[in-house]
Amino acid sequence: MSLNKELHRLARKSRLDSLSHHLKTRVEQGLEQRIKLAITGLSRSGKTVFISSFAHHLLQSDLGTSLPFFAASADGRIIAARDLSTGSIQPFPLAKTLDGLRTYPPHWPDSTETLSEICLALRYRRSPGLGRVLGEHATLYIDLIDYPGEWLLDLPLLELTFEQWCQQQRQLFAQAPRASAAQAWLARQHDIDWLAPATDAELAQLSETFRTLLQQLREPPHSLSLLQPGRLLMPGELAGSDLLNLFPILTAFPENPAEAADDSLLVRLQQAYDRYCQDVVRPFYQDHFRHFDRQIVLVDCLKTLNRGRACFNDMQLALNTLLQSFNYGRSGLLRRLFSPRISRVLFAATKADHVTANQHHNLDRFLQLMVESAQRDIRFEHVDTRCLALASVRATQAAEARLDGQHLSCLRGMRKDTGEEIALFPGEVPVELPGDADWNSERFRFVDFAPRPLPAGPLRPEHHIRLDQAADHLLGDLFR
Amino acid sequence: MSTPEHWQRPVELSPDALEPPSSSASGQTTTGHAQELPLESTRPVEVETGDIPLSPSPPARQSSRRWLWGSLGALLVTLAGAELYRLIHWGIDLHPLLGATFALLALVLVGAITVEIHRGCHSRRQLRRVNHLQQQASRLLTRHDTGHSSTLIHQLEQQYRQTPLARELNTALQQLDSSYSDAEIIRYLDRHALRQADRAAQQCVQRYSVESGVLVAVSPWASFDMLLVAWRNLRMLREISTIYGLPSGPLTQGRLLRQVLQNLAFAGASEMAVDAGSALLSSSITAGLSARAGQGLGAGLFTARTGFSAIELCRPLPTTDDRKTRSNRIATLILQRLGKGKAAEGPA
């Protein structure tokens, strides 16, 4: 009996029990019947809304009404779609999110605190041609994962040692606006002797201070993105764990680390860093962030326009850093079986409904400006990329106003903070990086809107902006 | 105009009074700064559906040959008139009733010819408008801003108001989203406004090419083949033009045929050679084909190409579909038919 138990334990430990499942998944992925779509985005870039809206529309794609530019659906080739994630351990709260968007007054979902997954199965008719030899019907499985955006920024840590990380952070904290915001923290670090023995309480207390600092940096007026380690901001199931007692050394790194006492802060931090990477980041990466086939990168450009150059630069840096954690390239059949790479990337500027329709193209261009270097790197690997302004759930209506005898396109919607209805011309999206003088002027006023209620019945194209084109770019070629 | 110079005087402005250059060249203007507006001053955006007069069709083609044809036509008409007059005169001389019959017949003939000419002119205008629409649409496809497509939409509505295409077109126009850019509107209409017509035209081309392929393959006389193919092609052209809402008649057909042949002869000659060559030469297809069947396949592919050119000419929006896959599919269909025929022949 106990031997049996022991065997089970061993099997679980070596992941043998999930081996057959794993194998099946990989074969399906190799034959392009299963797609892992990476939804990448910093926190508050709209991942959860994107996933729920995407899933919602795909689940209704057999009606062929709501996604006119998604060829498979518009041509009526999708027979039915099904949500398979109900049996999963951490199912994505699709029903809850959609209920929130349907009730009156509707509200956006809360920020994601833990990892969840959703798997959709789309049964479709193959297009006439050679594919029909394989049978008239086929099924495509789509795996989507939702997670707190803060965690994503931990992925680059896997490539760095503690010392390298401290070095990076030191450079970051030497620049505005971090330098001024973290003045007290920097001063406090100066007084610390890293090599002297220290107690657990001291470490915990310092970590707590650092966590408060990160939280400050995340909120307006700074609204920074590149905040590591991410679990300090969004601990998930690790809340209160001593794995999170971690912060970078921002003063000059001790020159003779070998002399440090075993219970000194330096040694403790180094150990904490290694443990954090090994026990927190690596499992997260290995279980969920390898083996992607397609990727969508969601970027909230309007936030940077509202906040200014520092916010723009920081978000650009964060995106460039984290996109290096993914594998890009074309995959042949063998590669798809053993180590798939991302073969198609879509950069999406979310909240396109928060600017007028004539600014969508400018929003595309502005996004291009932000992800330029990342996009170039990805294109170097022969991977298709595209920039698109989209809105997963449309919160505003287009309207026109007459002002001083001129027509002015504007938006009509409910303010998120007060709930009152407003009409707004939010300003033009620049296609070049605005000069220093322009950032803090009255040039932009991108207000956050509350969603408009979703219908209980079939969706229509007016409930999203360009979600269908995103779906077609990401999945269109798979419905052969 | 009030000043005598042709150039404008330099004017000094304060930098604050400048507006950022607007990317759209249309009447839509936007000021650069964010502002909040009173709710009452707004109205929802709709796709405008008021009547706008059609833009004048492009000027008639200049041709030095017009004189040639004109004088020839006038001569022929005079000749025919004189001959008719003599015929009627002779009839009246013989018996008034016979003369009246002749006169009546002549009247009917003149009436029929007039109607046909009128139709021909109408169809010529229509074809030209379609061409104009296509050009506009392909220009819009390259644009990313909004607000330039309303003229095209009006023209589409007007042109197809009384045709079978109107219903689907109107449904698609009503579903146009306010967030679409010009290029997206064209792509949307291309996909959704002409779906039934496209499918019908596609099937029509398929049917006629398979038919003419099979007919040529089984016809016993070589010279008969040519007539056969010409006959099938002409009927196909008529059907396609009806599907896309163009008036059908011998003159329309002739005009269409001329344009199609021009397309095939000049623009698509090399393409056709490559297409037909690849279809004919791919060993899996031609292996074991008799010369007869090969001829049939060639004739079928030719008909298919004629059909696709006709579709391109009649369709108000430029086709984005891949032509090669379509002609390959037709090639396989013809071969399947021929194969069936062979299989049926074999045991006998």
**Model pTM score:** 0.81
- Please report residues of A whose CB lies closer than 8 A to that of B15: none
Cα gap A215→A263, rounded to integer Å: 28
Q: Quick one: tokens of B74?
A: 């006038």
Tell me how close the Cα of A338 comes to any Cα of chain B, in angstroms: 33
Strands A384-389 and A406-415: unpaired
The pLDDT value recorded for residue A3 is 66
In this predicted model, what pLDDT tens digit does every residue of A118-165 receive, in sequence order?
999 999 998 776 556 677 888 999 999 999 988 989 999 999 999 999
Q: Which of residues B40 and A75 earns the better pLDDT score?
A: A75
Same domain, B302 and B185: no
In this predicted model, what pLDDT tens digit does every residue of A269-306 receive, in sequence order?
999 999 999 999 999 888 888 788 899 999 999 988 88
Interchain CB contact of B39 with A (< 8 Å): yes
Same domain, A280 and A345: no
Same domain, B154 and B211: no
The pLDDT value recorded for residue B141 is 87
The pLDDT value recorded for residue A465 is 94
Chains A, B: CB contacts within 8 A come to 118
Tell me how close the Cα of B192 comes to any Cα of chain A, in angstroms: 8
Cα gap B121→B128, rounded to integer Å: 11
> ipTM higher than 0.85?
no
Asked if residue B6 is part of any domain, the answer here is no
For residue A355, give its domain range.
Answer: 33-152+293-394+456-478
How crowded is residue B316: how many other Cβ atoms within 10 Å of its Cβ? Answer: 26
Mean pLDDT of chain A: 87
Cα gap B92→B89, rounded to integer Å: 5
The pLDDT value recorded for residue B345 is 42
Same domain, A341 and A467: yes
Cα gap A215→A227, rounded to integer Å: 9
When divided into structural domains, chain A yields a total of 4
Same domain, B153 and B274: no
The pLDDT value recorded for residue B312 is 85
Q: Percent of chain A scored above 70 by pLDDT?
A: 94
Asked if residue B56 is part of any domain, the answer here is no
Same domain, A55 and A131: yes
Same domain, A24 and A124: no
The pLDDT value recorded for residue B122 is 83
Same domain, A104 and A47: yes
- Please report residues of A whose CB lies closer than 8 A to that of B146: 357-358
When divided into structural domains, chain B yields a total of 3
Same domain, B118 and B183: no
- Please report residues of B whose CB lies closer than 8 A to that of A470: none
Same domain, B92 and B110: yes
Sign, CA torsion A360/A366/A368/A371: negative
The pLDDT value recorded for residue A39 is 92
User: Mutate which of B30, B179, B180 to disrupt the A interface (most A C-beta within 10 Å)?
Assistant: B179
- Mean pLDDT, chain B cut into blocks of 10 residues (348 residues total): 37 41 38 69 59 44 77 93 90 90 91 87 85 90 83 88 86 87 90 88 88 82 78 88 81 78 63 58 56 77 84 84 67 71 43
CA-based nearest residue to A33, from A356, A428, A333: A333
Put simply, the answer to whether A399 touches B32 (Cβ < 8 Å) is no
Single-letter code of the amino acid located at B234:
L
Same domain, B189 and B216: no
How buried is residue B116: exposed, middle or buried, by Cβ count under 10 Å (0-12/13-18/19+)? middle
Same domain, A178 and A272: yes
Asked if residue B14 is part of any domain, the answer here is no
pLDDT band, residue A12 (cuts 50/70/90):
low
Spell out the alpha helix ranges (H) of chain B.
65-94, 96-140, 150-159, 166-174, 182-192, 195-218, 222-243, 250-262, 269-281, 283-286, 291-314, 323-345
- Residues contacting A230, CB < 8 A, separation 6+: A148, A150, A151, A152, A153, A154
Tell me how close the Cα of A475 comes to any Cα of chain B, in angstroms: 18
Q: In what order do the strands lie in the sheet with A384-389?
A: A78-83, A116-125, A137-146, A34-41, A294-299, A344-349, A384-389
Same domain, B112 and B250: no
Same domain, A276 and A186: yes
Q: In Å, how far from its chain's centre is CA A29? A: 22
- Please report residues of A whose CB lies closer than 8 A to that of B39: 412, 421-423
> What does the H/E/C string look like for chain A?
CHHHHHHHHHHHHCCCCCHHHHHHHHHHHHCCCEEEEEEEECCCCCHHHHHHHHHHHHHCHHHCCCCCCCHHHHCCCEEEEEECHHHCCCECCHHHHHHHHHCCCCCCCCCCCCCEEEEEEEEEECCCCHHHHHCCEEEEEEEEEECCHHHHCCHHHHHCCHHHHHHHHHHHHCCCCHHHHCHHHHHHHHCCCCCCECCHHHHHHHHHHHHHHHHHHHCCCCCCCCCCCHHHCCCHHHCCCHHHCCCCCCCCCCCCHHHCCCCEHHHHHHHHHHHHHHHHHHHHHHHHHCCCCEEEEEECHHHHHHHCHHHHHHHHHHHHHHHCCCCECCCCHHHHHHCCCECEEEEEECCHHHCCHHHHHHHHHHHHHHCHHHHHHHHHCCCEEEEEECECCCCCEEEEEEECCEEEEEEEEEECCCCCEEEEECCCCCCCCCCHHHHCCCCCCCCCEECCCCCCCCCCHHHCECHHHHHHHHHHHHCC
Contact B127, B246 (CB under 8 A): yes
In this predicted model, what pLDDT tens digit does every residue of B18-70 receive, in sequence order?
343 333 333 334 445 677 777 777 776 655 444 444 444 444 555 678 889 89
How crowded is residue A190: how many other Cβ atoms within 10 Å of its Cβ? Answer: 10
In this predicted model, what pLDDT tens digit does every residue of A429-439 receive, in sequence order?
888 888 877 77
Q: Which residue does chain A place closest to B187, by CA atoms?
A: A69
In this predicted model, what pLDDT tens digit does every residue of A91-118 receive, in sequence order?
999 999 999 999 988 999 998 888 899 9
The pLDDT value recorded for residue B34 is 75
Among the candidates A232, A262, A286, a domain finishes at: A286
In this predicted model, what pLDDT tens digit does every residue of A415-425 receive, in sequence order?
888 888 888 88
The pLDDT value recorded for residue A365 is 92
- Please report residues of A whose CB lies closer than 8 A to that of B36: 422-424, 445
Cα gap A265→A210, rounded to integer Å: 15
User: Mutate which of A400, A402, A403 to disrupt the B interface (most B C-beta within 10 Å)?
Assistant: A400
Across-strand partners of B42? A401
Q: What does DSSP assign to residue B231?
A: H
For A351, left (φ over 0), alpha (ψ -120 to 50), or beta? left
Same domain, B224 and B113: no
For residue B227, give its domain range.
Answer: 195-345
The pLDDT value recorded for residue B343 is 46
Cα angle A323, A326, A332 (rounded to 5 degrees) comes to 135
Asked if residue B250 is part of any domain, the answer here is yes
Question: Tokens 């938006």, residue?
Answer: A411
Q: What does DSSP assign to residue B290?
A: -
Q: Which of residues A312 and B337 earns the better pLDDT score?
A: A312
CA-based nearest residue to A289, from A420, A176, A406, A152: A152
Asked if residue B74 is part of any domain, the answer here is yes
Same domain, A369 and A429: no
Q: What does DSSP assign to residue B80?
A: H
Q: Quick one: tokens of A166?
A: 């401290």
Same domain, A126 and A207: no
Q: Which residue does chain A place closest to B42, by CA atoms?
A: A401
Cα gap B164→B76, rounded to integer Å: 39
The pLDDT value recorded for residue A165 is 94
Contact B255, B120 (CB under 8 A): yes
Cα gap B266→B259, rounded to integer Å: 10
The pLDDT value recorded for residue B46 is 56
Same domain, A359 and A421: no
Cα gap A52→A67, rounded to integer Å: 15
pLDDT band, residue A363 (cuts 50/70/90):
very high
Same domain, B306 and B203: yes
Contact A60, A458 (CB under 8 A): yes
Give the relative orientation of helices B182-192 and B96-140 as an angle to the nearest 10 degrees. Answer: 130
Same domain, A23 and A48: no
Same domain, B228 and B167: no
Same domain, B115 and B156: no
Cα gap B281→B277, rounded to integer Å: 6
Same domain, A300 and A214: no
Same domain, B160 and B294: no
User: What is the torsion angle, in degrees rounded to the nearest 10, for the CA atoms of residue B88, residue B92, residue B95 and residue B96?
Assistant: 100
Cα gap A223→A225, rounded to integer Å: 7
Q: How many CA atoms lie within 13 A of A405 on its CB side?
A: 0
Q: What is the domain-level CATH number for residue A148? A: 3.40.50
Contact B49, B157 (CB under 8 A): yes
Q: Which of residues A444 and A296 earns the better pLDDT score?
A: A296
Contact B133, B264 (CB under 8 A): no
